[in-house]
């Protein structure tokens, strides 16, 4: 019965070990590997001990069984510390292993010294070998070591429960079981009966628990699961190099992308073929600047069709073994679909942008034509200024071109375009002036002149209403200023608000020169057109009083173009 009991436990331990080997993963804790290895050996020792027929075989069997007793608790404790993410210095682990080894060496002294067994005897009872023993002082030390390991393990579990939130609660629960079982054989009593020990049963139950922990722990180890998941991805390639740029290895995907690697021996330098030079470039760029670690690699299609090419993102990172940098790893990730999608989106956006720009241009043109038509309709009521808005608009454009060339005033392209576009609207306020005044075939009386002067302020109000809901707020402000202030004078004697100097918006100061110049060189009902020399004299005399002197140089440069333009109108 006893032999059958131990034999069954031994077979169960072997089955458990086989299951563990089947599910084994390279990232399994080495301490867990040793636990699964030592338990069948210890169980075998019990089988051999109770089937012994002489005292020598019985002693050897006991020594085999004590392999578990001396070392299992050491590996269980280390496994608990690792699973609970508690760092222990290497010298402490070495010292713990040394103590366990010395304990086992005392077991090996049985038959040669009385430090573990003082004396012992052997007999066979009903076919079962019975070794009767009296313990020495090292056996007491052995128990002390077992208890110390148990205390460390329990303390680690309790500490992790309260302090280590990243340790899975399920793992902590499960770790309690082998810790209790490993002590069960010693605390409950060495024997259930005279010839049946509980220790190997506790070993086997602990083995089953550790297999369950091993099965679950892989899911919790994010680093390992991510690496394994990436390795299973058939679209990701890996190439590794040591710190001297010697080739260390690659996966199948990488070798398909870089066929030259098939001819490169491990630990040797790669060659200088075009693709290999790219790999060198990636690594050297990363060495010079670790932030420069992303590149694009194009794998040419065998069909020769560029649309069939594959595009990979290449990431270069340090290769670590433990905490030490040992080289570099290049990761190739297929980005073909994403880049084709981006290209498709870009093409679509480009076409959409072209359509939007075309529609916007059409709307802007309609808007500008509407404004121009409105301005011309207003002008048609004034029989003294025919063509004025067209001429002044061209005058503004000529002046602004010269101002830009001089560079003395910093004008943005948007500002220049808006002033030119706003010029036709400067007299829009005349829509509110009575026909009797506006169409008078002669000079105004003082009263009539006061009524005419209201067109500046009225023009700003009309433009404000017309452009009230426009998104182009810059144009709206400039158009209002041009209409409102183009009759202001630099010395403050103008109207409607008698603004002075730079308080007059720049766009209105530019408009004033073009407006007066046109009035001088054009025929009106109350006067004949002045010649260009007289008009120029009047404009130059007005610099600093009526006009901004900072615009004098631009006017002088623009004068030939203005005269050429007006001469062209008379031909």
DSSP string, 159-185: HHHHH-TTS-HHHHHHHHHHHHHHHHH
Whether residue 188 contacts residue 198, with contact meaning beta carbons closer than 8 Å, is answered with yes
Q: Which residues is 121 bridged to in the sheet?
A: 132
End-to-end CA separation in angstroms for the chain: 133
127 pLDDT above the threshold of 60? yes
379 pLDDT above the threshold of 70? no
User: What rounded mean pLDDT belongs to the chain?
Assistant: 82
Sequence-distant (6+) residues with CB within 8 A of 433 are 451, 452, 454, 455, 458
428 pLDDT above the threshold of 90? no
Which range has the worst mean pLDDT, 105-109, 187-191, 296-300, 470-474? 187-191
Q: 436 burial class (0-12, 13-18, 19+ CB within 10 angstroms)?
A: exposed
Residue 320's H or E segment, with its range, is: strand 310-321
C-alpha to C-alpha distance for 565 and 558, rounded to whole angstroms: 11
462 Ramachandran zone, left/alpha/beta (phi>0; psi -120 to 50): alpha
Task: Provide mean pLDDT across the span 433-456.
Answer: 73
Task: Select the highest-mean-pLDDT range: 185-194, 385-394, 395-404.
Answer: 395-404
362 pLDDT above the threshold of 70? no
DSSP state of 84: T
Whether domain 353-570 has CATH 1.10.274.30:
no
Report the candidate in 79, 19, 52 with the shortest Cα–Cα distance to residue 204. Answer: 19
Residue 326's H or E segment, with its range, is: strand 324-334
Q: Which residue has the higher pLDDT, 431 or 425?
A: 425
Phi, psi of 133 (to 5 degrees): -140, 155
- Do 233-334 and 353-570 agree at the fold level? no
Q: Where does the pLDDT of residue 570 fall: very low under 50, low under 70, confident under 90, or very high at 90 and above? A: low
Task: Provide mean pLDDT across the span 146-168.
Answer: 86
pLDDT value, residue 8: 92
pLDDT value, residue 97: 93
Report the candidate in 200, 45, 62 with the shortest Cα–Cα distance to residue 131. Answer: 62
CATH of domain 233-334: 3.30.450.20
546 pLDDT above the threshold of 60? yes
* Pair type for strands 128-135 and 310-321: unpaired
- What does the DSSP assignment read for 98-124? HHHHHHHHHHHTBTTBSSSEEEEEEEE
Which range has the worst mean pLDDT, 299-303, 436-440, 450-454? 436-440
Q: Where does the pLDDT of residue 226 fall: very low under 50, low under 70, confident under 90, or very high at 90 and above? A: very low
Whether residue 436 contacts residue 464, with contact meaning beta carbons closer than 8 Å, is answered with no
Distances (CA, A) of 23 to 20, 82, 207, 209, 225: 5, 20, 14, 14, 14
Task: Provide mean pLDDT across the span 195-203.
Answer: 80
C-alpha to C-alpha distance for 1 and 125, rounded to whole angstroms: 12
Q: Check: pTM over 0.85? Answer yes or no.
A: no
439 pLDDT above the threshold of 80? no
C-alpha to C-alpha distance for 83 and 213, rounded to whole angstroms: 10
pLDDT value, residue 350: 77
pLDDT value, residue 163: 85
pLDDT, tens digit, 9 for 90 and up, residues 485-531: 999 999 999 989 999 999 999 999 999 998 899 888 887 766 788 88
C-alpha to C-alpha distance for 401 and 378, rounded to whole angstroms: 28
The domain ranges of the chain are 2-220, 233-334, 353-570
Tokens encoding 32: 């867990």
- What does the DSSP assignment read for 421-466? HHGGGTTGGGGGS-HHHHT-SSPPPHHHHHHHHHHHHHHHHHHHHH
Would you call 318 helix, strand, or coil by DSSP? strand
∠ Cα 195 201 204 (to 5°): 150
Residue 325's H or E segment, with its range, is: strand 324-334
C-alpha to C-alpha distance for 13 and 211, rounded to whole angstroms: 11
287 pLDDT above the threshold of 80? yes
């Amino acid at each position: 019965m006893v032999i059958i009991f131990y034999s069954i436990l031994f077979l169960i331990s072997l089955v458990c070990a086989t299951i563990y080997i089947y599910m084994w993963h390279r990232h399994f804790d080495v301490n867990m590997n040793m636990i699964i290895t030592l338990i069948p050996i210890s169980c075998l020792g019990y089988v051999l001990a109770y089937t012994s027929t002489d005292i020598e075989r019985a002693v050897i069997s006991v020594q085999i069984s004590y392999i578990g007793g001396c070392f299992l608790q050491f590996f269980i404790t280390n496994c608990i510390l690792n699973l609970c993410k508690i760092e222990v210095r290497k010298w402490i682990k070495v010292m713990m292993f040394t103590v366990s080894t010395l304990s086992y060496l005392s077991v090996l002294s049985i038959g040669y010294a009385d430090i573990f067994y003082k004396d012992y005897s052997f007999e066979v009872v009903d076919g079962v070998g019975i070794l009767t023993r009296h313990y020495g002082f090292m056996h007491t030390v052995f128990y002390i070591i077992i208890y110390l390991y148990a205390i460390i393990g329990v303390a680690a579990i309790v500490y992790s429960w309260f302090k280590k939130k990243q340790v899975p609660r399920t793992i902590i629960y499960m770790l309690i079981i082998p810790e209790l079982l490993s002590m069960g054989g010693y605390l409950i009593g060495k024997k259930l009966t005279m010839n049946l020990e509980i220790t190997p049963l506790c070993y086997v139950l602990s083995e089953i628990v550790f297999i369950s922990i091993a099965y679950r722990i892989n899911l919790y180890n994010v680093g390992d699961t991510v690496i394994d998941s990436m390795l299973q991805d058939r679209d990701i390639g890996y190439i590794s190099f040591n710190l001297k740029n010697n080739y260390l290895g690659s996966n199948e995907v990488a070798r398909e992308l870089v066929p030259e690697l098939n001819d490169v021996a491990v630990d040797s330098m790669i060659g200088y073929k075009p693709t290999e030079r790219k790999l060198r470039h990636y690594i050297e760029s990363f060495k010079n600047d670790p932030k420069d670690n992303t590149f694009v690699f194009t794998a040419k299609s065998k069909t020769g069709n560029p649309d069939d090419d594959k595009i990979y993102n290449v990431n270069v990172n340090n290769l670590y073994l433990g905490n030490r940098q040992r080289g570099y790893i290049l990761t190739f990730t297929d980005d073909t679909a994403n880049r084709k999608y981006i290209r498709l989106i870009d093409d679509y956006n480009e076409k959409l942008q072209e359509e939007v720009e075309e529609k916007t241009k059409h709307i802007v043109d309609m808007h500008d034509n509407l404004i121009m038509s409105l301005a011309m309709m207003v002008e048609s009521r004034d029989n003294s200024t025919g063509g004025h808005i067209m001429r002044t608009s061209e005058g503004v454009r000529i002046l602004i071109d010269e101002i830009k060339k001089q560079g003395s005033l910093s004008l943005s392209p948007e500002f220049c375009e808006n002033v030119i576009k706003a010029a036709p609207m400067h007299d829009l306020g005349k829509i509110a002036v009575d026909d009797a005044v506006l169409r008078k075939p002669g000079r105004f009386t003082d009263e009539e002149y006061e009524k005419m002067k209201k067109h500046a302020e009225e023009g700003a109000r009309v433009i404000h209403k017309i452009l009230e809901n426009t998104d182009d707020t810059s144009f709206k402000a400039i158009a209002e200023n041009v209409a409102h202030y183009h009759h202001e004078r630099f010395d403050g004697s103008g109207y409607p608000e008698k603004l002075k100097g730079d308080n007059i918006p720049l766009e209105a100061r530019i408009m004033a020169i073009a407006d007066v110049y046109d009035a001088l060189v054009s025929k009106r009902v109350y006067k004949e057109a002045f010649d260009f020399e007289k008009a120029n004299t009047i404009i130059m005399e007005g610099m600093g009083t009526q006009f901004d002197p900072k615009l004098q140089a631009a006017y002088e440069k623009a004068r030939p173009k203005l005269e050429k333009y007006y001469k062209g109108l008379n031909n």
